[in-house]
Structures are given as C-alpha cells and as structure tokens.
Structure 1
C-alpha cells in the first residue's frame, strides 16, 4: 500500500533497530521530532506497558517531547528509552535543569517475548541508542522501512496466528489548511484482525497484544489539543481492527505537533479546522494499521511457520 509516510511531516524522522535469528525477533522504533515539538498521549488498552506517559498530560509542567520510543520486549523493552534519552542528552535535547537537561522520552511496548525462541532476547538501552542514531542520521522525508522492521519485527496479528508489522501513512488537509500534513506510524501487534466482511476475530482473551501509534502533524497545537487529537485518532484503530482496546492489550496513541503551520479556522465555526485535522488523524491511523498488516512478511520461528495475513487488501 502507498499512502504516504509519517516522514511527510517536515522535520519528523524515524529510526529503527532490530535483531533476528539466534533466538531474537524484536526491535525498536524511534520517532524523532524537531526541538520544541508539543506532545500528548491517549492510552486505551487495559494492559499497557508504558514509560513517561503521565508527563504528557496537559496539566503537567513540560509540554514538549524529545523523542517517542516504540519497542518490543513488553515491560522489559522499555529499557530502550534509556538509550534514546542518552542520545538526547549527548545532543543537548531535553528540559533545561541546573547542570544539564532532562530529555522527555515517552515509550510504549508490545508483547513479543519469546517469539524468536529466547524469552530473554529483548530490546535494551543499547538497541534504543542504535535506533536513535538511525533516526538522527536519516534525511528529512526519508522513507520508513515497514513490515518486519523496528518494533514491528516480532509483531503478531489475530491472537498470534499471523505476522504483524509496522506501517505508515499520511494525509494533507484541504483548502486554506492545505499546508498541514498529518502522518501516522503504527506497530500492529493486535489480538484482532483487519475489519472487513467475513473477517472472523479470534476468541476473546487469546494472545497478548497491543497496537502502538504515533500521529504527527506540522500544525500548531496546544498540549490539550494534541491530547484530544490522540483520543480522536483511536477511531481509526477501531475502524481497522476488531477487536481493539481490550483488557489484555496496551493500545496507545501518541500525538506530536511541530507547530510549523498555523491552522486557519473558518470564522463561522472556529473549531472546524481542528475537527478536520482530528478526522484526518483517525484516517491516517486506519491506513497506517492496514499498511503494517500488508507489509508484514511470513517468517519462520522455532515454533514453526508464521504466515502473513491473507487478506492484504482488507
């Protein structure tokens, strides 16, 4: 599928690191925004594995985000955020404090433990640092490796029946806001399957799962508007997959707003421009999720063959 990329948002860079073979099947994806980017999050899953998400509440002190980390390894894999924080500190990125900076690096994890054969083979700070270097070294607008890459390396679909993966998409607003771009990047490690007529979701309670998304835009948003955009974007996840937001998953959407383009509100309904952006965010998420499913390739693990989802046009 070709629906654009989160890197169509100017200044947004994506870096990845992964390990395959010898017991490994996991990885890390880092979304690196320009300095000063506003960020927030909405966690809808009942079993999230997250780091620093409380700091993204609109009522907290720091409105900006230095990087977002999506990782395999369940709660263990959140250690990858430490490596990204180290890269940010080395490059002077973070909230200024006496003596230095404290990088704001929220993270969320999928469950892929043992899928390569070794339960202990999971992302750590070194892999996070590697992914941050990859992001920093990429060109503006560079293509994103999708499918079995980064945090999508060990992702599964349909309660573990099919190979999941990483996908991305972008949309542009219309009219006076045509300079505004909304992009999404999704790691699809879902209990559900893509929704389409005839699709049969797995039985409730099967598998440990999560779909993670980063929405990015060049629009100028407040932290509260970024939070509301993350909330609205969950509609795209629900349109793409069935089921979502279950007690056993950690479905999470981050929103990043670089602030380079001001939304132009129509005088008769000032909120209309923000509503259009949030609608585009939901659609970009839907497309990114389906792109991740379509890009995933079959792999072989110690447990046997792990096929790609057959309905790639869903």
Structure 2
C-alpha cells in the first residue's frame, strides 16, 4: 500500500477529495445546524443524522474534561450495534439538553431501534458531546436546549452546510482566536471515502507563535492552502499556547466512511481523528479540554488490512483539513479576532 510521506497523503499519486469535500460525501449522512447570536447568545447545535436503521459507530475521548452523552453505547462489549444520530452542541453540560430534542425528533420520524410491534415504537440512540462556550455571548446560561436540537434535525441536509461560526462552532475559540465548524473528505487509493466534521474549540493554539502560520496547513491537499502565506511582517501575536487564557475548551470530531467497519475498527478510526487534532492544535488533550471523536461506518464493502490502514492515515489528515476550514471560515467578535483579523498579511491582498 502507499506509505505516507512527511507532508501527509500517500506516495504514488495525489489524494483527492470527494465530490462535495464534505462529511455528506458518505452516503446516508445528513448534517443540520442551528445557531443563535445576539441578546447574550453565541452558541448552537450541529446534528449529524444517519438512515432510520442507524450506523455502526465508535468513539475515543482523550481530553481531561469531557462533556459527553451515551458514549458507553459505543463500547464493543455492549449490546447496541448502531446509533441514529450524533449530537454536537455548545453550552457545556447544559447544552447536552439538545440531545433530548434530537432524540424526540428522530422518534417522531420513526428513526430508532425497534422496541415493539408498532413501527412507531422506536428508541433513537444519540451519543453526543458539548463544547465549553458559556458566556461568550454575554449570558452564562444562554445555552442550547431541546428546541435547538430538534431545529438542527429539521434543517438537516445531504448537501452543503455552513462552515465557520455556525452550529456547535458558533461560540468556539481556539487559543484566543475564533474557532468553528469545518468539513472535508478524501477518497483513498482503495476507493473508500473518509470524511470529517470538526468543531475547533481548543485551549491550545492552532497557530505557531514564532511565525503566525497555522500548524495544520502543511496537511492540505495539493494547492488547498496555497493562498496562505507566512505573515510577512511582525504582527501582534494574539495567541501563544492559550491554555492560561481559555478556562475550558473542547475540540470535537465526527468521522464517517463508506467502508464496512465493526465498532472496534470505528473506534480505531476515532483514534485517528485525535492524531489529526495533534497536528492542528498545540497543546492538545489538556486537562482543560474535553476532546472527543466519533466515527461511523455506512457501507457494505469491507476493507482489507492494507486498505484499512490507508483509511486511518487519510482520516487523520482529513480531520486537519476540516479543522482548518473551520478556523479560516470563522468570524471574529469583540475580544476574539478571526485568524484573518489577527494575521492579515497571511492572505493575498
């Protein structure tokens, strides 16, 4: 199989994105988002929905301050094989209430584990996680609830969705800069698609403080981040490691593939997302971060040993690309500049 070179991606041919370069390139995945800004609010919800019979899933939590819901479902030792959605939200522990709205919406649409003779008797299984964005709009308890979770489901689409300051990334901050939601996909040499959705909200920084460059830019596909330059003059470096400034944080990921994987291998795919986090943000997985990654399988073709390992390598890189898009699309607000505002000379005039 092709071996990765130092800049990511396999030797023997350039990697390529899927048609939409998005999580929705994996058939059966839909993404819906809602957000609220103003009047003390700056937060939102991102719902990732699967077909009515669900998707095989795994999880890896590596941060020291996780805020999660029903992740024990994904342990390969436990009963349930499939889940029906993944909930990502702002609001820290309060924002986990959005998961209830997603669960109710799925039940109303008969998506879930059959629980009786009536087709309406289903139990939706919805793991989730929340980021810490409390008070970033001005009000500490302006947080997502069940209505925002249901609204994200109603907005779900298999087409393009907003990146940057949207959904669960609306109030995200990464090392003092505006973070956000991003997405990307890649088709492997073996013909499998792996895609990522990232919510970047980190105590660490995505920026090298010596140069102002984004750590993850070298992992883009050929030409993807070619428009970014090393800042050409001294600029105010507004971020260092950031962990003393940001009290609590969390970076989240959802990876999806059309390869057929069991829960154990989905768990390994989720570990690869954390490899991508380490290429994007420094330091990562601190005691102040609740970093969590979910991975789902929606496919019938099983990869062989070599193809699965190629998939793992691509998954780490595709997370980096998704994360950088979230950062580059993000909009700043007073006291929290975007990367473009902090380092304008990184962009062509």
TM-score normalized by the length of structure 1: 0.89
Instruction: Show structure 2 runs of 5+ residues with no match.
Output: 1-15, 213-238
Tell me how many residue pairs correspond in the alignment: 294
Alignment partner, residue 148 of structure 2 = 127
Alignment partner, residue 103 of structure 1 = 124
Alignment partner, residue 294 of structure 1 = 328
Write the distance in 1 (CA, Å) between the matches of 2:27 and 2:244. 40
Write the distance in 1 (CA, Å) between the matches of 2:268 and 2:302. 17
Provide the secondary structure at the position in 1 that maps to 2:181: strand
Alignment partner, residue 14 of structure 1 = 31
TM-score normalized by the length of structure 2: 0.80
Offset at residue 144 of structure 1 (A): 1.9
Q: Which has the larger radius of gyration?
A: 2
Write the distance in 1 (CA, Å) between the matches of 2:343 and 2:265. 36
Conserved 8 A contact 2:204-2:242: no
Provide the secondary structure at the position in 2 that maps to 1:18: strand
Matches within 5 A, 1:252-263: 252-263=292-303
Offset at residue 134 of structure 1 (A): 0.8
Conserved 8 A contact 2:129-2:292: yes
Write the distance in 2 (CA, Å) between the matches of 1:24 and 1:206. 21
Cα 1:219–1:294 change in 2 (3 A) is same
Which stretch of structure 1 is more off in the superposition, 162-171 or 253-262?
253-262
Determine whether 1:23 maps to 2:40. Answer: yes
Provide the secondary structure at the position in 1 that maps to 2:83: coil
Write the distance in 2 (CA, Å) between the matches of 1:117 and 1:253. 29
Alignment partner, residue 245 of structure 1 = 285
| Aligned residues: CA RMSD | 1.9
Conserved 8 A contact 2:205-2:242: no
Write the distance in 2 (CA, Å) between the matches of 1:9 and 1:306. 34
Alignment partner, residue 268 of structure 1 = none
Alignment partner, residue 46 of structure 1 = 64
Structure 1 moving runs of 4+ over 3 Å? 195-201, 203-206, 310-314
Match of 1:190 among 183, 187, 202: 202
Match of 2:306 among 248, 253, 272: 272
- Per-residue CA shift, 1:129-162, capped at 9, x if unaligned? 0001111xx2x3x11200110001111111xx22
Determine whether 1:164 maps to 2:185. Answer: no
Determine whether 1:79 maps to 2:97. Answer: yes
Conserved 8 A contact 1:62-1:95: no
Write the distance in 2 (CA, Å) between the matches of 1:252 and 1:88. 23
Cα 1:19–1:185 change in 2 (3 A) is same
Alignment partner, residue 149 of structure 1 = 166
Determine whether 1:202 maps to 2:241. Answer: yes
Offset at residue 87 of structure 1 (A): 0.9
Conserved 8 A contact 2:260-2:297: yes
Instruction: Show structure 1 runs of 5+ residues with no match.
Output: 266-270
Match of 2:337 among 295, 307, 311: 307
Write the distance in 2 (CA, Å) between the matches of 1:103 and 1:157. 32
Offset at residue 231 of structure 1 (A): 1.1
Match of 1:215 among 227, 241, 255: 255
Write the distance in 1 (CA, Å) between the matches of 2:204 and 2:184. 20
